[in-house]
Structure 1
Amino acid sequence: MKLPAAWLCCLLLTTAPAWAAQTMVSGKVYLERDGKPGRGATDPGLAGVQVSNGQAIVKTAADGSYSLPVDDGQTVFVIKPDAYRFLLAIDGLPSFWRHYRPNGSPALKYGGIAATGESTRGWDFGLQPERRADSRKGLQMLVFTDSQTASLKDIGYYEQSIVGPLVGRTQARLGTTLGDIVSDDLSLYPAINKVTTRLGVPWFHVPGNHDLDFDAANDQQSLESWRNIYGPDTYAVEEGGASFVFLDDVVYDPNAKPKYVGGLRQDQFAFLETYLKGLHRDRLLVLGMHIPLFDAAPGKETFRRADRQRLFALLKDFRNVLVLSGHSHTQQHYYHGKADGWQGDRPLHEYNVGANCGAFWSGVKDAHGTPDSTMSDGTPKGYALLDIASNGTYRLQYRVAGAPASEQIGLHAPKVLRQGAYPAWGVYANVYMGEDASVVEYRIDGGAWQPMAQVRQPDPRLMVENVADDLATRLRGYDRSPEATASPHLWRGALPTGLAVGSHKVEVRATQPDGAVFTATTSYSLQPAQP
């Protein structure tokens, strides 16, 4: 018996057992030309497009057809290749998946997935050609995380401070939210999606620990309501010469405290193993997840170490890997090395992105009525930009919500010191994208540049807010600012007191490992005084 071409591709791309006894789905991946819903007579099939059930991967045959086994609870999705874009669903999100849940989800507070029925034929997926001629040559990506909206009012804050200033102004070709889209109220998904899709950017989501069905009996059922809206929880998208793999890394256990831990499931490893086999080792590989791969504190296993080691083993031969994570409501760069079990040629770069909501929409409101919400490490609320060049190199930037792109350093210095006093006071520079390899310098009144010392302590700017909250006899905001914690990107320079009486200009510059230079200025005054 001669097997169809799509089946031959299946056998080549997966190590799954014989599929004869399994339910099979079939359909075509096609090029949308006629502008009408569904595959029309003039919409040709696309060959060689990868389609997955979350474990196995097949490639479409010459006519765009595919066949794939599917189990109850699985989602079939397309791995979009470079130079194409997805059609949009009615909610404005990319349309690239379809659930197989014949009888629907078990009873859940937020509904889960409705019964899909037994139909398994005609599972067609449309793609359109990318409009840009240079679609394979790099891109810009918007990276959001932890919008963490608990109400429609929070969604209003998100729209005003994060999304609104970007509408009609972004050059991004795709975007992602790395989990905690809402804060446990999953009924808010349609409302926040309506805001996010105003950006007009294909948007891909990752689930977080605040996106779970907490009435689910187990981890397998804990994302039913999330998946009903956003599709597969583990999938890949190819764009601009890079591969993006989005991963659910929240393992739910209703009997544990806390009820989740970072980690990956067996089916996710099966998908990764199969997908990574087909990638060139020099291609940029970007992994997006919610819980960081590094542990939150020494000796505290916040991501299962066995899963981390298994993931590292799959990634070690790739020369260009970037991990993007959220969850912490702080911001830092982390480089996994041998001490973490990483065995690659060079350290694995993980960028833990600052939150859209900052410190959970807390703190004093600004003139527009939006909470300040500075994070505990002194980073203001905001989002990140990932720029990818045609050669696969990348650059990361942070954007403070509602501020110009030049706002990259937060400064704190005393306003006045006594002339001639012992120089025990300093200027502090919180370099939001700073890392250990950053070079941070300062100078006074245009003099010689001097190095600043990296310090692991709380940002004094946030400590001022903490003290103001402590001394206030009435609440200054709905929730007070978070207690300042040691910042991984704070530098200090001593302020000289032997200068002339009057005002003195302080300039700070930070040179990043990628060559980017940030600057900021402040001033302090010297006054004479008698004992």
Structure 2
Amino acid sequence: MNYKTIIYPFLLLLFISASCGKKLHVEQPTNGTIEISQLDIPKNFEIVINKDFELIGNGFKAEDLIQFRSLSENSMFTIPIKEIKGTQAILPFSEKIQETSYDLTLVRNDKSIHLANVDVSLIFNKDIPEKEGMTVKGTVYSKGKGVANVIVSDGVEVTSTDANGIYYLASAKKNGYVFISVPSNYEVATKNTIPQFYKSLNGETSKSEIKDFELTSVNNENHTLLVMADMHLANRNDDLSQFQKGFMADAKALIAKTSGKVYGLTLGDQTWDAYWYSNSFALPEYLNQMKDLHIPIYNTIGNHDNDPYVANDWLSENAYRKTIGPTYYSFNIGKVHYIVLDNTVFNNNGGSIGVVGDRSYEARITQNQLDWLKKDLETISDKSAPIILAMHIPLHTNPNINNYNYYLKNSKDLVANLEGFSNIQVLTGHTHVNYRIESPTLMEHNVAAVCATWWWTGRSGYAGNHISKDGSPGGYQVWENTGKDLTWYYKSIGYDKTYQFRAYDLNNVHITADKFTPKANDTYKAKVPTYAKEYATKNSKNEILLNVWGYEPNWKITVTENGKPLAIQRVHKPDPLHIISYSMQRLNVNANPTDSFVSSSTSHLFLATASDAKSTIDITVEDRFGNKSTQKMVRPKEFSTSMN
């Protein structure tokens, strides 16, 4: 990773903005046999697709080769000069040319000379007329023809393409990019898992620039979406090994057996800002870990995906924009309209070059995003169309049974913008727990973490499992969408779709220092009751505790003993397996558990009381779509870190 581009993103942006659009007039020195003079190559090099293009300068020869070396990837190719016309060296278009930055080198026999570094833009139609006040223009096209009614935006203004696929945008170029809302039944090219739905702008408003977008026709009316929250990859706690052997293996297997198109959507905190510099692991390294999924993945920024050396929300996001793309945007897959928002305002007091700040942030959506969101939603005429809105921090707090509040400072403003739509699904992360909150028109899915408890429980020498703060297995959510019909389930890493709950025989759940912290000294053994909470006391009430991590109010839970249904009570308390998988493991090595990582109380727990300590219990959990998960619980049932 080039850390200078992270440390100095704003300076880099200023440099690019100042140099873009200007031509380089360079007198090249002789290196023995090659002499090129009056070289005139634009820094922003526009190449019309399938058309010859030229390099301007004196001294080119017909046998010369022009070498294109990518400055962002380990790739290189050469293009021979087609002909020389005065000071013009004519080159044929090559399919190898991509929209990226290149180092251009002239190669003549065994000699070479550097010519210039250029940022290549591929142009579909260079003859779009100028319009007063329009600073960005271009064509959205597929198979050589313009595509009409595609939404185009710079994050402030929103427009659409005409019948010929042409658009104009009166952009102040503040955000530094233009993007399209990829239309249904189309895709854009994917580069290192990132859909290329956006193009960088040069910052000059004195003249317009052309930014074209190529679409590929696909059938994604029916599609599967993998929703991944809180990976926190940082090259610590054996996280990369756990990630590859656990999540990546699980996701690859699911993709391999899934028919139809598959996409990914992250919910933020792909990385861990505190370790960007100390562990040399930031956003580029995250992408390198994901590359083998081979599906388009749309990303959401989280509070931990900001540059910890920068104490400014906008500037701290420059590394993200440079590596991954816009922090808010929309796209369409099938009949679903997807919206991604950035709802963390990163303050990071004390951050400066070489100094990690306090990494503080606010849970708030900026007004410019709300203004843009309103314009984006105005482009959707069908108010019954499913809206899936992704952001990092939850809209609502984790409920205590049915009691909850808004989480974001301006949750009400966001909800007001969504009025009029009847099917809104909000996807969030951040909490590392599972919960669902539903109203007549809006449902929030707070999705537990891929990293579970920040990779601690699966760390070498610890519990050997992968479990989140609420007892949910580390995992991700899977959406199977058919037209306007949306279905979903929580996918536990390493388990199949039917694994939706865990059952405890509370007669055997007794957390003691002797059993669960045998290596701890007396000081840390004494702390066991504090972290074990109610489970520090022996329970002989024949109670059955269920953790149903994907629970929603319309799910059906049945517990029977010898064919007789047992009364079920929903409760709010911590999960005992997480306590012995994290807090007891830390105490066992004479270390205090991190407050943010300890077990949190959850309301997707259910309690039933059996009549006998050794009876077999039959449990069925049925979700809103009729999918059933069952278990025949033979008691006494063991309580250990390896239990299911």
Contact 2:463–2:585 (Cα < 8 Å) also in 1: no
Say if 1:291 and 1:414 are closer, same or farther in 2 by CA, change over 3 A.
Answer: closer
What are the within-5 Å matches in structure 2 for residues 125-140 of structure 1? 125-130=213-218, 132=219, 135-136=220-221, 138-140=222-224
Correspondence for 1:380: 473
Contact 2:150–2:161 (Cα < 8 Å) also in 1: yes
Write the distance in 2 (CA, Å) between the matches of 1:422 and 1:165: 37
Contact 1:362–1:372 (Cα < 8 Å) also in 2: no
Correspondence for 2:363: 262
Say if 1:146 and 1:364 are closer, same or farther in 2 by CA, change over 3 A.
Answer: closer
Deviations 1:419-441 (A, max 9, x none): xx996231111011013443322
Correspondence for 2:521: none
Correspondence for 2:555: 438
The alpha carbon displacement at 1:296 in A equals: 5.7
Q: Secondary structure in 1 aligned to 2:215?
A: strand
Q: Secondary structure in 1 aligned to 2:304?
A: coil
Q: Does 1:332 align with 2:417?
A: no
Contact 2:283–2:305 (Cα < 8 Å) also in 1: no
Residue of 157, 174, 186 corresponding to 1:72: 174
Residue of 230, 253, 259 corresponding to 1:146: 230
Larger radius of gyration: 2
Write the distance in 2 (CA, Å) between the matches of 1:431 and 1:155: 28
Deviations 1:349-375 (A, max 9, x none): 1000010000100124489x9953411
Residue of 212, 218, 221 corresponding to 2:312: 218
The alpha carbon displacement at 1:300 in A equals: 8.6
Correspondence for 1:121: 209
Further displaced range: 147-156 or 273-282: 147-156
Correspondence for 2:245: 160
The alpha carbon displacement at 1:302 in A equals: 4.4
Write the distance in 1 (CA, Å) between the matches of 2:435 and 2:497: 19
Correspondence for 1:181: 270
Deviations 1:170-222 (A, max 9, x none): 13521111100101145532232233232222110000000012333422222
Contact 1:466–1:481 (Cα < 8 Å) also in 2: no
Q: Secondary structure in 2 aligned to 1:195?
A: helix
Aligned CA-pair RMSD:
3.2
Runs of 5+ unmatched residues, structure 2: 1-129, 351-357, 510-537, 638-644
Residue of 83, 86, 109 corresponding to 2:188: 86
Paired AA for residue 126 in structure 1: E
What are the within-5 Å matches in structure 2 for residues 105-504 of structure 1? 120-130=208-218, 132=219, 135-136=220-221, 138-151=222-235, 153-167=238-252, 169-170=254-255, 171=258, 173-184=262-273, 185-186=275-276, 187-255=281-349, 259-279=360-380, 280-295=382-397, 302-304=407-409, 307-335=410-438, 346-365=440-459, 372-390=465-483, 392-414=484-506, 424-445=541-562, 447-465=563-581, 468-469=584-585, 472=588, 482-497=597-612, 503-504=614-615
Write the distance in 2 (CA, Å) between the matches of 1:475 and 1:253: 30
Deviations 1:125-177 (A, max 9, x none): 111000x3xx33x3221000101111175233222211122225413521111
Runs of 5+ unmatched residues, structure 1: 1-18, 34-42, 104-116, 337-345, 527-531
Contact 2:183–2:333 (Cα < 8 Å) also in 1: yes
Say if 1:468 and 1:296 are closer, same or farther in 2 by CA, change over 3 A.
Answer: closer
The alpha carbon displacement at 1:380 in A equals: 1.0
Correspondence for 1:36: none
The alpha carbon displacement at 1:331 in A equals: 0.7
Write the distance in 1 (CA, Å) between the matches of 2:226 and 2:134: 38
Correspondence for 2:634: 523
Say if 1:426 and 1:214 are closer, same or farther in 2 by CA, change over 3 A.
Answer: same
Contact 1:423–1:494 (Cα < 8 Å) also in 2: no
Contact 1:82–1:240 (Cα < 8 Å) also in 2: yes
Identity %: 23
Say if 1:519 and 1:120 are closer, same or farther in 2 by CA, change over 3 A.
Answer: farther
Write the distance in 2 (CA, Å) between the matches of 1:521 and 1:365: 31
Say if 1:66 and 1:384 are closer, same or farther in 2 by CA, change over 3 A.
Answer: same
Say if 1:119 and 1:88 are closer, same or farther in 2 by CA, change over 3 A.
Answer: farther
Say if 1:286 and 1:525 are closer, same or farther in 2 by CA, change over 3 A.
Answer: closer
Write the distance in 2 (CA, Å) between the matches of 1:249 and 1:467: 31
Paired AA for residue 559 in structure 2: Y
Q: State how many pairs are aligned.
A: 458
